[in-house]
Amino acid sequence: MTLRQTLEQAIEDLKKEVAKMADFALYNLREGLNAFKTTNFELARQVMKADDEVDRFEEEIAKMALKIIWKEQPVASDLRLVTGILKLITDLERIGDHASDIAEMTLHLEDNRNQRVLPLTSKMAEIVEEMVLKSIQALVRVDESLAETIIQTDDSVDQLFQDVISYVTAELKKETIDPNEAIYVLMVAKYFERVGDHAVNIAEWIIFIAKGKHKNTMLF
Amino acid sequence: MTAQNPIVFQIENLNLFYGEKQALKEISIAIYEKEVTALIGPSGCGKSTFLRVLNRMNDLIDSCHITGNVTYHDQDIYQPKTDVNGLRKSVGMVFQKPNPFPMSILDNLIYGPKCQGIRDRFLLKQIVEQSLKQAALWDEVKDRLKESALALSGGQQQRLCIARTIAMKPEVILMDEPTSALDPVATAKIEDLISSLKQDYTIIIVTHNMQQAARISDKTAFFLMGELIEYGDANQLFSTPENKKTEEYITGRFG
């Protein structure tokens, strides 16, 4: 017989809820980029509104985690999982915020746009989405080696962000991009770069969940 | 990293048998001075047996014999020449159920010192006051020292037993589930007491209460079926245990 079925069930439910939250945030991120790419104001507004749901998830998960702490007084791997989740939902919530921010940038843009910078931003978005997706998988499986790969991927995101800056700067010098558009394109790229950082933070909390270590510091 | 305290007990390859049945298997462990060491594990795992090895309480069981080394300050305590009474004076013990002698509070405390030959009334009075203060019981009983110890509450009786142990000026105090018969308030008082006593004494405690071990111990040893499975800083053992069996036991997945 497995003992502590209540605790095991509560932890399963908690993990499922975090996965749902992450799916939701990821969906918003994709739709936010879609809205930006296609200058779809309606979609942009929907994404911005959907962020409330991500915030509700954060509160709900925090409640579930706190309840496990006071009712079950978890130790060892259970304690690391519950506290790690309490920390990483902050990053998930921020990813949701940035999805909303990206959607909001759409509202500042005109229809006729410089199409040359979009592929770079899309490439960034693609890598960042993959990082977020992997972070969900790594959490569900408590897979520290997958978490490590997420951390390593971040360098390429940072590089792409630098490329976007160089590209936009060059376009500005040639006066082939509207300065207003340049600002929003750069902001969108910056938001994706930040989402990459949050995926890295999540990966670091997954390594904590696996080993009790956060960025090479034992937290216990 | 903080410097390690000096070693009080060094146990190497200890095996203990009750007749044919082996109750402890190849135990090697060091107990450090002025620390609280908690022994945890399911019933029958050998933790109380191990505790009793340390002041030779198992001598009282005929069929019990041991192999291996148990040294207390570099002295092998299982040498025939060992002064067992002297050992038990240095290594005192508090039991699961409070067991005050059926006499007054005062007599409970001076019984031991008197047996040791202390007759000086002033000295005895000093011992009584000091041990009751150290056991956080003085304020509650100072005006009723002549009353029967049996009239005290369970928690007070247990603190009296701790005071009685302290009155013998031990170096080590062994505690075998000292709070399992007490309510949460009395338990909390004993736990606070243990934490303050470690300034002066080395404490080794057997407990079934995992949270208690986590709260009060510096080091924790996990026993299972006569074996020492894992031993280390309580901080590490309760957060990132190395052994899968420890993990399963402390998270309550078996036991």
The answer to whether the Cβ–Cβ distance between A220 and B236 falls below 8 Å is yes
Provide the residue range defining the domain that includes B129.
7-250
The CATH number for B37's domain is 3.40.50.300
Q: Is A142 on the interface with B (CB under 8 A)?
A: no
- Measure CB to CB from residue A4 to each of B210, B239, B253 and give the nearest one: B253
Q: Average model confidence (pLDDT) for chain A?
A: 93
The answer to whether the Cβ–Cβ distance between B252 and A211 falls below 8 Å is no
The mean-pLDDT minimum among A171-180, A204-213, B6-15, B157-166 falls in A171-180
Residue A48 lies in a domain: yes
- Give mean pLDDT, residues B84-94: 96
- Measure CB to CB from residue A78 to each of B235, B251, B255 and give the nearest one: B251
In B, minimum Cα distance to A2 occurs at B253
In A, minimum Cα distance to B211 occurs at A73
Residue B255 lies in a domain: no
DSSP for residue A213: E
Q: Is A7 on the interface with B (CB under 8 A)?
A: yes
Q: What length does chain A have? A: 220
The answer to whether the Cβ–Cβ distance between B253 and A80 falls below 8 Å is no
Q: Is B116 on the interface with A (CB under 8 A)?
A: no
- Measure CB to CB from residue B254 to each of A3, A75, A77 and give the nearest one: A3
- Give mean pLDDT, residues B61-68: 94
The answer to whether the Cβ–Cβ distance between B210 and A75 falls below 8 Å is yes
Q: Are B245 and B229 in contact (CB under 8 A)?
A: yes
- Give mean pLDDT, residues A14-26: 96
| pLDDT above 50: residue B129 | yes
pLDDT over 70, % of chain B: 99
The answer to whether the Cβ–Cβ distance between A3 and B253 falls below 8 Å is yes
Q: Which amino acid is at A133?
A: L
- Give mean pLDDT, residues B42-64: 95
The answer to whether the Cβ–Cβ distance between B252 and A3 falls below 8 Å is yes
Provide the pLDDT for residue A2. 64
Residue A187 lies in a domain: yes
Give contacts of A77 with chain B, Cβ < 8 Å.
Answer: 247, 251
- Give mean pLDDT, residues A33-41: 90
Residue A64 lies in a domain: yes
| pLDDT above 60: residue B1 | no
Question: Helix H segments across A73-178?
Answer: 76-106, 118-141, 144-173
| pLDDT tens per residue across span A38-53 | 889 999 999 999 999 9
Residue B1 lies in a domain: no
Q: Is B1 on the interface with A (CB under 8 A)?
A: no
| pLDDT above 70: residue B28 | yes
Residue B125 lies in a domain: yes
- Measure CB to CB from residue A73 to each of B211, B235, B255 and give the nearest one: B211
Residue A2 lies in a domain: no
Provide the residue range defining the domain that includes A27.
7-218
- Give mean pLDDT, residues B69-87: 95
Residue B2 lies in a domain: no
Number of domains in chain B: 1
Give contacts of A69 with chain B, Cβ < 8 Å.
Answer: none
- The pTM (predicted TM-score) of the whole model is 0.90
- Measure CB to CB from residue B239 to each of A2, A73, A76 and give the nearest one: A76
Number of domains in chain A: 1
Window 193-212 of B: residues touching A by CB (8 A cutoff) are 210-211
| pLDDT tens per residue across span A67-89 | 999 999 999 999 999 999 999 99
| pLDDT above 90: residue B113 | yes
Give the β-pairing of B172-176 and B91-94: parallel
Provide the pLDDT for residue B254. 80
| pLDDT above 80: residue A110 | no
Cα–Cα nearest to A154, from A118, A201, A187, A211: A201
Provide the pLDDT for residue B108. 97
Q: Average model confidence (pLDDT) for chain B?
A: 95
User: Per residue in B33-62, is it b (16+ CB within 10 Å) or e — as a string?
Assistant: bbbbbbbbbeeebbbbbbbbbbbbbbeeee
Q: Is A1 on the interface with B (CB under 8 A)?
A: no
Is residue A99 very low, low, confident or very high in pLDDT (cuts 50, 70, 90)?
A: very high
Q: Is A79 on the interface with B (CB under 8 A)?
A: yes
Interface predicted TM-score (ipTM): 0.84
Q: Is B242 on the interface with A (CB under 8 A)?
A: no
